[in-house]
Structure 1
């Protein structure tokens, strides 16, 4: 692509963006060297994003393959993958379809983006798998191109991006690790109000390695003067500069709009930008204005042939009508169409249309699209028709187009787009008499499809509303149809922490009498929920029936459902269920059931963590999150995998990575059910690190999500967190009050959650002598896995009446075998206290040193401070070497900071550290600053010397 493809603003002079251009050039140099980079370029409307990209592209155009695509704003119907479709079209123009197809296996998957690649392959595995294949093929295509020459992929106007585009952006950012590729994503930051779906994506991307954020400020007074000189070809007078700067506030677009060709400021300046932009259009000939009014209804960009058909002008007349608009820089002409130079111009023109005029142009576009089939077969063609027919007030045609668009979106895995189109269908249903005949479903069927789309799109609150309406319309009848709706409502209620989930599941099971998939799903879903509510006796026969049904049916999906359910029950009883879950994962993938595939990942992370195999749990969690990224629409399961992964990272001592995992999941704005689990994990680390502000915020958020019917896996950890927080604050009375609730909560509950709570309560209650009820619960609670056995050993050690180092050494050894540094450090500290009480100072000193190293390595500041204070009282040198230098105050370096310090000691720069650890350069810089402050040194060299002298690397 060349410079002309990115047309610029009115001024030929590039002003005031030197630092930002340098950042883009630096990112390109890194990418060209084989380290992919992503630049997030934000500015306000009219702030000069496109001009900056144009100038950057002009500088590297002869050294790179540049592909550009923009997200499209078209009422409520965002076009799936619009910028990637445009970029691929750019590539095809340069290389041809055949040449592109030869670059990568499976190129027919690209037909989801461009019909020129043929018919999109249809697979029995379902649309979710098709989406994953498309993402992988697009990634391999970029990697192949980047192997030939540096590639710059520009995605403009991401604030209008649809869910599918955002998911592909997230996938590319997370999976581009090597190759000469730079991706530039532009967006308007003032569009990103609270709740805007791009906000969490940008937050996640900004924390990824190789991602750089660039924000364009407004121009200074001197830069506005420079811009004016470029526009006029001579310096503007001081009065003109002053007037335009004061009124335009340094926004480049405002400066252009207010400047007249004679160097004066436009008189009688309208109060609104809309009027100001309309003034630019109103000075054009009537023929030009008429065409622009039509084009404004069509969107920011309209193809030449389509616009000719809509306006009923021949090609020559259309070209002549638009020539003045192009000369005035209102529109930009490319190879086969026209775009408004700035979307604000199009918005102003569109808003100025009378209602009847707008409806007439919508009808003209709809008729032209149907007559010429300009967009036939392309992604988003039906959604365009739906918008235009609705704008033309032709409800029947708008409904048919919206229904077709919903199907397109489903096949393209764009669940949010599917939901929007189905909601348009529902809005038009009563005014379109042939709705049922046109869609092939009744109103309840349309509601059911919309509720399903809402769940997958991460909109459980909307899904609940839709499914409630559908259930109401069935009026208590419907058999398996009603059962399916009740199953969906149960899932949605769980996501929203609403009551009635078990009632729905039991009712669904009664209705689903036929031994097929609906009954299998009801059996599995009910059995798993019952187990989470500690109702094992009711769950067990359901699991047995489901296994028998699966054996008889021979259906992959039903078999996967049965295996996951058996594993859910078996893990709690101490059975080895990893084989069952791996088989379920295989069957779910083969059947195309994304729900079951991701539930299998949830089960694998849970089962491995239960067994104490944290590394296997971490591997499964990372693989599961990668799958959710590929299948982007499964957000309501992704948060469970993220929570399980974070829990295993905490167990293994990787606390910084656990926090990063939690924050990425919270950035998705999960439903309350998933949010509780994530907050509990964050809270545990905050209490152990003494982070008061985070603790307070976490408890406030948890209080807002309070649910008296919560499952044991949420209730018990919440109580444990409160107990540990009060204990850390020295509130013994408050801690005892919380501990008093534990016996009732723990009876019959899952041992995995009971034992850590019993151990924490024993620590408090032992001092008051009120341990009888706790001991009774402990005696009745099994220890199916080594983790529970280790907690039981801590529980027993807490209750010893006399100092007993051997009891604590046994517990510490159990945690050591499980590679869980935090509880091991705590047990070692208690062993040191007991040994010191018995006068065995060498043993106490050795235990303290081990405890200090473990606590320091994971950043457990509160525990490390306790160990340090004990060391001072016992006169123990925590460094531990003969004649070694004692550390007067602990440095509190976290595990991540030790990793960064190691890289500092090898002479790595911040950018190199960021690349090595897959974090952003900004995050690396923050870590370096924290390290220098904690070590009390002024330079990186001094930090490295101090680390070696004090053997700090031995603590990691």
Structure 2
């Protein structure tokens, strides 16, 4: 049985009803909801709970194909029990009642030989049915003795008339014993007698609502990427059956329905009258939401007959009314099942009829294209034109759809000399659309095919194709192929300064930056003008966006800031549709802003670029941008937002299957988790990042190793952490990481060595930090002062002064966590200098800063320092006061299993939760206990005991 996700309020209702039944009060419960919403799973949970309370629990279900069988649902629930206990039950009934029961339950027929004989004196007025119902009610009473009875019936919307009548009789004449009757049904398909049961019984109705987005994510589990999980949730509407079905479809070819889903829905569709079924199939051809007139055209049925059939489909909850006289299917999977149910040839004809109709009434090409592609023939010029027009219409907002229609148009186009130029244009557009929609290998292959076909003299077209191809090679972790392709195309050009050469040279700049060859990047940029009359829209902005990073990396901070200012002005003036073509260049500006400590500007441009990437579907750029935004948020001390952002980056990178993008994302995840205090997770992310980088010696490899070193130090693995940090910076002889990372590494190493009492080593790192710092970047001056404060720990007065100055600079520079760290160092130093009041004030400020940032370990460390100074402090207040330390019952469960040494995955299995949910609970445990590790959780709880 799958773990139950959410449904806490429903389960509380179950507990109240079961408790009342056990106390001797007859209970009637209706569990109501649409198909697939989880009623059956909830009834299984009810069965478990009634069994735990000692009630005799009998459960069955009605079946759509057995509605002509009297009492079918009741027989399904009770007959097996009577097979085992029928003899003793029959002893308590008279002869007439035995015969009546034996005609209902096959298990009793053998024990009552004359049960099937016709009674020529039987009452034909309906009184005999009433006597049968009385016999059944007495049977319920007998089955309830002595422990009580839970009679649980599923799919009662398909109950036969006799079962429905008996239930109505039972709730109006309740049994005497401890009895719970629970039924589940779909309200849109249930007969009126079933719908009236709750009111007649004075019972309780529980409506099962769709899952929340958080519950949907828990149901899918951590193996489903967050971005895909959101898309699946939106498509499913929160219906768990459809959500799981859609998730499984990702592992099937095309968009074919899973067999189990197809079987369930085809049974429902197969029961429709032929006319209604044909209209349902025509509606499936017409669209997700459709006008009845279109259905009439597709089905070749008069409009009056169409409306009558639609009424029938609405009554059966196949269709539902939409706005403005239109209709839609209950769920997209129902539509797909209806579509697949139709004959393939009929579907082609229906699409053709709709395509002709829409063309005649002048519908937009995007509306026609769906039907055209499913009914057109080879060399159909009108179809090709419609598909191309539709593709161009959606190119910027839906590149994947654009690529799909372009591929179809190319398939229809004859391979002839007369069509070569048109095919070349379509191939160019196709390659770009494939690339921005994340179809990396397909985009690369299309671009290579385009280069093969393009004449040597068409430099501009070849350059554009080569740029796209090189960009895809880079994302596919083939940087050498990308560079070779760019150089080959540049060598073909008669002039290296031609406008056509600029996009190729821009890619060379990016390749050099990735290889940490900043001199080469600057040399290429020096050959490029700022603008030219023949440039494409947005190209001037793209070139400007590349200039700050090489200047920053080369230590020319004035140039870096000046070119960043110029790039900002151009980006602000460039519309999104022009920016979209050059997002890979704009990303370098965003990262440069962060490296320069211009965090507000960095965040603004990251967010704009992310919005454009989302709108245009550029997944490979989105991953990089999300990682950069997370890095900026970490610097600002907004750790919860950083964690949410970087988790999406990791999800996107895994979907892309690009090692480079995954390393970018995991590096920032590692750093974020290290600062939040989730050390085990940080170490895992760092290790995976280093493995994925595989010693590439590119910038992302060095950054991954540096982040892993930070995580090791944060987790207390000091010797190994120092070694990894120094190695990631090439022993500071020829470092390959950026200056901001170098400076932060020096400060961290000074802190570690000072903490181990090695002041000489700490002073060496502080001196190196001063060498790294640029006088043009005052935002980093605070880190230099902080490093010096670590080195002067033996002189608390001097250390306090440096730390206080560091705190001021870091606050002005918006570095939230580092500001708190400087306050912590100042508070410790002032405490050591005998300035207790000042120390308490600074440590109080540090506590609030860390709490605001979400830095749990640092907050716990600060609280410990405050206790040493005599402050009476505790963990943050919590609304949950029934358990130790304000833990909720579930958090206490998780913490207890952590103390037992169980892993998160094992805990998830025992508690029927997802691993991600366990991680969330454990994060809250850390915060409430004021600790930062699993071992500390055990120590804290053991100390209380």
TM-score normalized by structure 1? 0.57
How far the C-alpha of 1:416 sits from its partner, in A, is 1.7
Is residue 853 of structure 2 the alignment partner of residue 858 of structure 1? yes
**Alpha-carbon distance in structure 2 between the residues aligned to 1:513 and 1:235:** 91
- Measure, in 2, the Cα distance between the counterparts of 1:853 and 1:862: 13
* Partner residue in 2 for 1:163: none
Q: Contact 1:460–1:495 at 8 Å: present in 2 too? A: yes
- Distance (Å, rounded) in 2 between the aligned partners of 1:473 and 1:295: 43
Equivalent-residue separation in structure 2 for 1:280 and 1:454 (angstroms): 39
Match among 710, 715, 722 for residue 729 of structure 1 = 715
* CA distance in structure 2 between the partners assigned to 1:539 and 1:732 by the alignment: 36
Question: For the Cα contact (< 8 Å) 2:388–2:406, is it kept in 1?
Answer: yes
Distance 1:373 1:776, change over 3 A: same
What SS class does the counterpart of residue 693 from structure 2 fall into?
coil
**Is residue 2:408 matched to residue 1:424?**
yes
Q: Is the 8 A contact 1:560 1:585 kept in 2?
A: yes
Match of 2:186 in 1: 252
Instruction: Write out aligned runs for 1:343-742 (5 A).
Output: 347-354=336-343, 358-370=344-356, 373=359, 376-378=362-364, 380-389=366-375, 401-410=386-395, 413-426=397-410, 428=411, 432-433=413-414, 441-442=422-423, 445-471=425-451, 479-500=459-480, 501-513=482-494, 515-547=497-529, 550=531, 557-572=538-553, 573-575=556-558, 576-577=561-562, 578-589=564-575, 592-596=578-582, 600=586, 603=589, 605-625=590-610, 631-666=615-650, 668=652, 671=656, 672=658, 673-699=660-686, 701-703=688-690, 705-709=692-696, 711-712=698-699, 714-742=700-728
Residue pair 2:499, 2:534 contacting (<8 A) in 1 also: no
For 2:846 and 2:310, locate their aligned partners in 1 and report how far apart those are by CA, in whole Å. Answer: 76
Shift of 1:738: 1.3
Mapped partners of 1:823, 1:765: distance in 2: 18
Cα pair distance change 1:846/1:506, threshold 3 Å = farther
CA–CA distance in 2 between the matches of 1:777 and 1:785? 16
- After TM superposition, the structure 1 = structure 2 runs for residues 203-242 of structure 1, keeping only pairs within 5 Å, are 221=152, 224-225=155-156
Q: Quickly say closer, same or farther: Cα 1:295–1:633, change in 2 above 3 A.
A: closer
1:453 CA displacement: 0.9
Q: Give the secondary structure class of the aligned counterpart of 1:351.
A: helix
Between the aligned partners of 1:359 and 1:394, the Cα distance in structure 2 is 20
Q: Deviations over 1:633-684 (max 9, x none)?
A: 3444444444343333322322223333334555555744454444333322
Aligned length: 661
Q: Secondary structure at the match of 1:380?
A: helix
Contact 1:856/1:892, CA 8 A, preserved across alignment: no
5+ residue gaps, structure 2: 1-6, 11-31, 40-150, 171-181, 196-258, 879-885, 887-916, 932-945
CA contact 1:527–1:540 (8 Å) conserved in 2: yes
Q: Partner of 1:176 in structure 2?
A: none
1:464 to 1:434, Cα distance in 2 relative to 1, 3 A: closer
Residues 825/498 of structure 1: CA separation in 2 closer, same or farther (3 Å cut): same
* TM-superposed deviation, 1:403: 3.2
Q: Which has the larger radius of gyration?
A: 2
Check the 8 A contact 2:546/2:588 in 1, yes or no.
no
Deviations 1:345-384 (A, max 9, x none): 6545543445xxx224413531452256266333632322
Quote how far apart the aligned CAs of 1:580 are.
0.4
Distance in 2 (alpha carbons) for counterparts of 1:383 and 1:234: 52
1:935/1:540 CA distance change after superposition, 3 Å: closer
Which structure is richer in relative contact order (CA contacts within 8 A, separation 6 or more)? 1
- Aligned partner of 2:869 in structure 1 is 876
Deviation at 1:564, TM superposition (A): 1.8
Distance 2:862 2:607 in 1: 34
CA distance in 1, matches of 2:162, 2:358: 41
Matched-pair contact (CA < 8 Å) for 1:528–1:568 = no
Q: Deviations over 1:320-358 (max 9, x none)?
A: 77787677776678877776666666545543445xxx2
User: Which of the numbers 739, 759, 768 marks the counterpart of 1:751?
Assistant: 739
Q: Distance in 1 between matches of 2:494 and 2:771?
A: 38
Secondary structure at 1:877 match in 2: coil
| Structure 1 residue 409, shift from structure 2 partner | 2.3
**Which deviates the most, 332-341 or 825-834?**
332-341
Q: Structure 1 residues 811, 537: CA separation in 2 closer, same or farther (over 3 Å shift)?
A: farther
Contact kept in structure 2, 1:804 and 1:834, CA below 8 Å: yes
Matched ranges for 1:776-925 at <5 A: 781=772, 783=774, 784-798=776-790, 803=795, 805-806=797-798, 809-819=801-811, 820-830=815-825, 848=843, 851-872=846-867, 875-878=868-871, 886-887=872-873, 889-891=874-876
2:467 and 2:486 in contact (8 A); partners too:
yes
Residues 800/332 of structure 1: CA separation in 2 closer, same or farther (3 Å cut): closer
Work out the CA distance in 2 between the residues paired with 1:311 and 1:464. Answer: 43
Shift of 1:751: 1.6
* 1:918-954 Cα shifts (integer Å, max 9, x gaps): xxxx9xx999998995699xxxxxxxxxxxxxxxxxx
Residues 622 and 436 (structure 1), Cα distance of their counterparts in 2 relative to 1, 3 Å cut: same
Q: Is the 8 A contact 2:686 2:704 kept in 1?
A: no
Shift of the 382–776 alpha-carbon distance from structure 1 to 2, 3 Å rule, reads farther
User: Aligned pair in 2 of structure 1 residues 227, 734: CA closer, same or farther (>3 Å)?
Assistant: same
**Could you say which residue in structure 1 is the equivalent of 2:226?**
none
Q: Deviations over 1:476-518 (max 9, x none)?
A: 9964433322321332244344432444444444445554543
The answer to whether the 8 Å contact 1:585/1:596 transfers is no
CA, structure 1 residues 481+930, in 2 after alignment: closer, same or farther (shift >3 Å)? same
Return closer, same or farther for 1:364/1:477 CA change in 2, 3 Å cut-off: same
CA contact (8 A) 1:48 1:253 kept: no
Q: Is the 8 A contact 1:808 1:828 kept in 2?
A: no
SS in 2 for 1:389: coil
Alpha-carbon displacement from aligned partner over 1:747-779 (angstroms, at most 9, x marks no partner): 254322222123323445676777899799768
Using a 3 Å threshold, how does the CA distance of structure 1 residues 291 and 657 change in structure 2: closer, same or farther?
A: closer
Separation (CA, whole Å) in 1 of partners of 2:689 and 2:833: 43
Would the aligned equivalents of 1:581 and 1:600 in 2 still touch at CA under 8 Å? no
Give distance in 2, aligned partners of 1:371 and 1:518. Answer: 45
2:429 & 2:162 partners in 1: Cα distance?
Answer: 55
| CA–CA distance in structure 2, aligned partners of residues 361 and 721 of structure 1 | 56
C-alpha distance in 1 between matches for 2:930 and 2:773: 46
CA RMSD between the two structures: 5.3
